[in-house]
């Protein structure tokens, strides 16, 4: 693929820029916005998300980006008139929920739908990205609904094509979204994933490194960058067959097991990678200063909260941590 036929060029060839347009939140938050505690989390978030999507804003008083994001969230949620709700949790006062969900930096927003985490993002993103995020949850109203739904459908189809190995087809769809919305973080991340699938890792890293700061902090973009880091690291870890032989001789060789988990992860064998890390945790939580748990949380960041491997491994992780 080359020249004008290359959808990568169409989407990444020019200089892209983005600005965050923050607005003041309406004074009256009504019943759409509230603070919660560890004790009330199940009622305020889990139960309430069975009625409409609930956004949980994990923040702290010392966090500058949190002070930028919260008014944007409140403004957009209020404009939705109850189609989504916003619940704010101060992690200084209530750290356990954020810890259980593997949240390592703030601001972080997790959307709960039907009692489960459904999607999320990190960082003080632009108002347009907050609207897109809520649109994907089906919670925004107004004239942009049809367009947002169409874009969401295209992105979903592109992700399916990429998962099936149709790199060109996926790239064309991601590129089409970027023609209409050059700041669409999901499409940017998807295009980079296409580059990785095509063996163009350096090009993917360069494209993402040139994004403006507002977009570069998007959780999806950060996930792709971390995936690139994991691929680079796995190349230096040796032969997976040799590591399997080492484990056959000594199942308590946690260093070999950790290396094998990292290699399996970049091979797309997420369940197997998670199983090795969970095995280390069951056998020796002190290994590498609880390194298996920390590595698993890094995998979750790259896989995303809706990946079946994330959901399954997070449940098993919870059983180990809280048993």
Inter-axis angle of helices 219-234 and 185-197, nearest 10: 20
In the set 10, 66, 224, 225, the catalytic residue is: 66
Question: DSSP letters along 121-167, please?
Answer: EES---HHHHHHHHHHTT---STTHHHHHHHHHHHHHHHHHHHTT-H
**Whole-angstrom Cα distance, residue 206 to residue 273?**
28
Q: Which of 25, 63, 73, 87 is catalytic?
A: 63
φ/ψ of 21, rounded to 5, equals -110, 95
Cβ neighbours for 287, distance < 8 A, ≥ 6 positions apart = 254, 280
Distance in angstroms (rounded) separating the CA atoms of residues 68 and 63:
9
On the question of a cis peptide bond just before residue 107, with omega within 30 degrees of 0, the verdict is: yes
194 is catalytic: no
Exposure string of 274-283, with b = 16+ CB inside 10 Å and e = fewer, is bbbbbbbbee
**Catalytic annotation, residues:** 63, 66
């Amino acid at each position: 693929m080359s020249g004008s036929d290359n959808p990568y060029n169409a989407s990444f060839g020019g200089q892209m820029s983005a600005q965050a347009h923050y607005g003041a939140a309406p004074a009256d938050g009504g019943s759409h916005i509230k603070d919660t505690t560890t004790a009330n989390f199940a009622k305020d978030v889990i139960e309430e998300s069975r009625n409409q999507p609930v956004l949980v804003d994990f923040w702290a008083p010392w966090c500058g980006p949190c002070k930028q994001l919260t008014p944007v969230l409140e403004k957009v949620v209020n404009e939705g008139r109850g189609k989504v709700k916003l619940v704010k949790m101060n992690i200084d006062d209530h750290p356990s929920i954020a810890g259980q969900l593997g949240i390592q930096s703030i601001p972080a927003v997790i959307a709960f739908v039907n009692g489960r985490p459904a999607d999320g993002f990190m960082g003080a993103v632009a108002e347009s990205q907050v609207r897109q995020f809520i649109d994907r949850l089906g919670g925004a109203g107004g004239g942009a609904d049809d367009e947002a739904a169409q874009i969401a459908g295209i992105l979903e189809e592109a992700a399916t094509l990429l998962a099936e190995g149709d790199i060109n087809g996926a790239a064309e769809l991601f590129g089409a979204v970027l023609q209409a919305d050059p700041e669409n973080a999901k499409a940017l991340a998807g295009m980079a994933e296409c580059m990785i699938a095509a063996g163009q890792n350096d090009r993917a890293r360069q494209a993402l490194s040139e994004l403006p700061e507002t977009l570069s902090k998007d959780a999806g973009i950060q996930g792709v960058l971390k995936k690139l880091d994991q691929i680079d690291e796995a190349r230096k870890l040796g032969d997976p067959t040799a590591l399997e032989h080492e484990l056959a001789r000594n199942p308590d060789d946690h260093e070999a097991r950790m290396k094998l988990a990292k290699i399996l992860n970049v091979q797309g064998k997420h369940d197997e990678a998670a199983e090795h890390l969970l095995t280390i945790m069951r056998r020796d939580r002190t290994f590498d200063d609880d390194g298996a748990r920390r590595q698993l949380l890094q995998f979750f960041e790259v896989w995303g909260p809706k990946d079946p491997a994330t959901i399954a491994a997070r449940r098993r992780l919870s059983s180990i941590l809280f048993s």
